[in-house]
Amino acid sequence: MIWLKSKEEIVKMRKAGRLTGETLNAVEAVVRPGITTKEISDFVDDYITSHGGIPSFKGYGGFPAAACVSLNDTVVHGIPDNTKLYEGDIVSIDVGAIVEGYHGDAARTFAVGTISPEAEKLIEVTKQSFFEGIKFAQPGYRIGDIASAIQNYAESFGYGVVRSLVGHGVGRDLHEEPDVPNFGRPGKGARLAAGMTLAIEPMINAGTYGVKVLDDGWTVKTKDGKLSAHYENSVVITDNGLEILTLIEN
């Protein structure tokens, strides 16, 4: 069942979204050659807890860390460890924060130092595909309208749109109904209504859309070893349109 949030719940969602977005703004400053993925996750953990929140991901389904830190050909769910970042890498950082019992969920892909033009383009197209999708995140449209806009934009650059992983509702639970795919047909899926809170998250590969899950049960990589980028925000559908909860201007 899709849970429409009350005005009071949306106030709490704004608080969780703000902390989530501020965490990603802060972590961008520590992304540099030489830092480890564990050090990034530890920074996220400290930032969220020191600002009165609880990391959403830590312990969720057994995930061992406060952030998913995914390097290069890792699409999502990278488990932080002692792996170092190097000049030219790209790193996707996915975080969530609980405030007053409600979750924010957002992700960004960052450049590590100077990266290739091809990597820069992948990051930018992935980000813009989100904004193409949310043009349809208005009352009366359907989930498929968002999904098809994301897919059409990303595929126009020859990229692969991951199909086995999707966005989702978000609120009191980290993952709620409905699923929000990044591919599909317009006019299909649940109709959007005021009070819906969604985590919309394009996951775009430089090559094929195919992915594989490693033996750890978490880490998802591109099948062809090419780069992948991730861009996510939590949003709320309102009577007046859309509000992005986790995009906080520096």
pLDDT digits (tens, 9 = 90+) for 108-146: 999 999 999 999 999 999 999 999 999 999 999 999 999
Per-residue pLDDT tens digits for 171-197? 999 999 999 999 999 999 999 999 999
Residue with tokens 């975080």: 95
Domains of the chain: residue spans and CATH: 7-244 (3.90.230.10)
Q: Is the pTM of this model over 0.95?
A: yes
pLDDT for the residue 83: 98
- Around Cβ 25, how many Cβ atoms within 10 Å? 15
Closest CA to 206 of 85, 86, 102, 117: 117
> If you average pLDDT over residues 53-76, what whole number do you get?
98
Measured distance CA(212)–CA(107) in Å, rounded: 20
Per-residue pLDDT tens digits for 66-112? 999 999 999 999 999 999 999 999 999 999 999 999 999 999 999 99
Percent of the chain clearing pLDDT 70 (strictly above): 100
Helix (H) or strand (E) holding 86: none
| Helix residue spans in 30-116 (DSSP H) | 37-50
Closest CA to 44 of 74, 72, 13, 19: 19
Confidence of residue 8 (pLDDT cuts 50, 70, 90): very high
pLDDT for the residue 241: 87
